[in-house]
Amino acid sequence: GQQVMQIPQYQHVQEGEDFTTYCNSSTTLSNIQWYKQRPGGHPVFLIQLVKSGEVKKQKRLTFQFGEAKKNSSLHITATQTTDVGTYFCAGRPSGTYKYIFGTGTRLKVLA
């Protein structure tokens, strides 16, 4: 079946260090979305990427969609304690309405 893997599973960083999580799909995607989930909460939408090779920025966050539309990355510059949480990518396989979530990367930021 269709799978979306994310690495790393966990990441501990010192406040101010950078952080990157990578997402890889077994199938080509129509688009990919990124979500953040705080402990005990539900996922909250961050951004959607649609075009091959697309790059989007939100303040300290940079999102990239691969040329083959099968992988994506999220990079956070100079992490802050408020960045703590689990980051998920969610891919929509071409020709479907479903969103397959990645395995998630749990980020801890040490002050």
Partner 1 sequence: SQTIHQWPATLVQPVGSPLSLECTVEGTSNPNLYWYRQAAGRGLQLLFYSVGIGQISSEVPQNLSASRPQDRQFILSSKKLLLSDSGFYLCAWRTEQDTGELFFGEGSRLTVL
Q: Which residues bind partner 1 (CB under 8 A)?
A: 6, 31, 33, 35, 42-45, 47-48, 88, 90, 97-104, 106
User: Each residue of 59-75: b (16+ CB within 10 Å) or e?
Assistant: eebebbbbeebbbbbbe
Output the smallest distance, CB 45 to partner 1, in A. Answer: 4
Output the smallest distance, CB 99 to partner 1, in A. Answer: 6
Which DSSP category does 83 fall into?
A: G
Cβ count within 10 A of residue 95: 8
Output the smallest distance, CB 91 to partner 1, in A. Answer: 11
